[in-house]
Amino acid sequence: MRGRVCRRAVVPASLRLFRGFHLMSGSPAEAPLISLSGIGKSYPIANSAAGRIRTLYSLLRRQPFTERYDALTDISFDVRRGESLGLIGVNGAGKSTLLKIIAGVVKPTSGDLQLRGRISALLELGAGFHPEYTGRQNVFLATALMGLSEQETRGRLDDILAFADIGEHVDQPIKHYSSGMIVRLGFAVATTVSPDILITDEVLAVGDESFQRKCIAWMENYLSNGGTLLLCAHSMFHVQKLCQKAAWIHDGRLHAYGDSNRVTREYLAWHDARNAPKAQDHALAIKSGHYAVLSVTLNERPGTEGITLPEGAALRIAGRLFSPDGRPPTALVGFVRKDGMPIYGVSSEMDGHVLSRVSDNEFSFELELSELTLLPGAYTIKAHALDPEGYRLFDEIVCDLIVTGESRELGACRLPHRWNTL
């Protein structure tokens, strides 16, 4: 089934990057502004003359491509008035393709798309600018494409130029602009009207810090006034700050959808786990006659199974270490992020604690944390076996730790604090 898009007006694809337009304005107010059902997008793979002929034949016959790349597969979700949704995922996951389908730049191969209300898409800031025109002339050109009259543009010109803040360069041809200046002018022009739906693709990843703050402030004001935002970003901070919900696109499919804090945490945990170093084989240390970790438990459960705890819960880490010479070894316990970034570590030698002897070559330890101050997220607990002096590390066992809860704080742990009124 070919993709079906329900629209009221047809706008050339080259103009849709700027232009806001009305879609199904007569639809019920309670209906979603954006409704996607089974959206898919495929591109033909034609690496030879024969492949290009087959592709052309498929297009003429309106048949599926014999050899194709599926950029999107079965994407379904709704965005209602006043909601803000963040699209996240690695490069190449299909986020930009999905935004272009919603903006009307690209037609879906399959599925059904319904759009309602006035849409403004900031997919490529500066698209539609004429390189030989000055910045001021391009403002009038771009606003005309958005449906504003010359008189309306003149009434808003001071605000546009103040937002862009490019000074005297506004009267120079934009072919001499830096990429950051073009982005400033493009965003300033595109936000002169307040659409029902604002679609942005990595807008906050370009420009300097002051421009990013200005963009965020504008978006927050837009949302506070009832606007609907669809934001594509690699910054999980921006998604958590600006978006109520998040959609994680992975390999062209909707991997997770829901509360932005929960989905971004799952995405960061997956991202960290993908970059995490591989664990060592502790059995090799035993065979080599070195100090080794025999076992680890987390709250009396096998450490190899991992553990999930609510934020602030108590945690007991216990284990047994092997000593080849019968001397009490040193136990070291560390907490790290999934990508290997250390958070905290402490050893029995640091605290002057001697491990309990279980047998001639086995010793036990237990480390108790009465309250975990880690923020919600995915972590790794590493239990190490060191020599009695605590100088050399010989072996480790790696355990997974998931901390659950709701928090917008940054970092990995919570520090006791309070805000004072001066």
Q: Report pLDDT for 272.
A: 65
CA angle (413 as vertex; 381, 220 as ends), nearest 5: 130
325/255 same-domain check: no
72/210 same-domain check: yes
Closest CA to 186 of 113, 127, 271, 247: 127
How does residue 283 score in pLDDT terms, banded at 50, 70 and 90? Answer: low
CA 300 to chain centre: 35
Residue 9: inside a domain, yes or no? yes
**Residue 252 confidence (pLDDT) above 70:** yes
Residue 297: inside a domain, yes or no? yes
Interval 33-61: pLDDT, tens: 999 999 999 887 666 666 666 666 666 66
237/319 same-domain check: no
The tokens describing 55, both together, are 């592709």
134/262 same-domain check: yes
Q: Report pLDDT for 23.
A: 45
Average pLDDT over residues 112-129: 76
Please give the Cα distance from 40 to 70 (Å, whole number): 8
The tokens describing 50, both together, are 């024969």
Closest CA to 141 of 156, 154, 129, 126: 129
224/366 same-domain check: no
Beta bridge partners of 344: 335
How does residue 175 score in pLDDT terms, banded at 50, 70 and 90? Answer: confident
Provide the CATH number for the domain around residue 334: 2.70.50.60
Provide the CATH number for the domain around residue 50: 3.40.50.300
Q: Report pLDDT for 275.
A: 61
Q: Are strands 228-232 and 84-88 parallel, antiparallel or unpaired?
A: parallel
Residue 418: inside a domain, yes or no? no
**Residue 25 confidence (pLDDT) above 50:** no
Interval 297-306: pLDDT, tens: 999 999 988 9
Q: Report pLDDT for 290.
A: 81
The tokens describing 92, both together, are 């190449």
Backbone φ and ψ for 106, nearest 5 degrees, come out as: -125, 140
**Residue 323 confidence (pLDDT) above 50:** yes
Maximum average pLDDT range among 121-125, 378-382, 409-413: 378-382
How does residue 16 score in pLDDT terms, banded at 50, 70 and 90? Answer: very low
Q: Report pLDDT for 196.
A: 84
Average pLDDT over residues 222-240: 87
Average pLDDT over residues 354-363: 93
Closest CA to 398 of 309, 316, 296, 301: 296
268/302 same-domain check: no
67/180 same-domain check: yes
Residue 421: inside a domain, yes or no? no
Residue 415: inside a domain, yes or no? no
Task: Give me the domain span that covers residue 188.
Answer: 4-273
250/169 same-domain check: yes
Residue 66: inside a domain, yes or no? yes
Q: Report pLDDT for 83.
A: 93
Q: Report pLDDT for 200.
A: 83
246/302 same-domain check: no
Average pLDDT over residues 352-357: 94
Average pLDDT over residues 249-257: 93
Average pLDDT over residues 53-70: 68
Q: Report pLDDT for 26.
A: 44
**DSSP 3-state assignment of 419?**
coil
> Which residue's structure tokens are 């898409």?
121
How does residue 13 score in pLDDT terms, banded at 50, 70 and 90? Answer: very low
How does residue 21 score in pLDDT terms, banded at 50, 70 and 90? Answer: very low
Least confident of 64-78, 292-306, 359-373: 64-78
Average pLDDT over residues 330-338: 91
Q: Report pLDDT for 51.
A: 63
Number of separate domains in the chain: 2
Q: What is the pTM of this model?
A: 0.61
When the pLDDT of each residue in the chain is averaged and rounded to a whole number, the result is 82
Residue 229: inside a domain, yes or no? yes
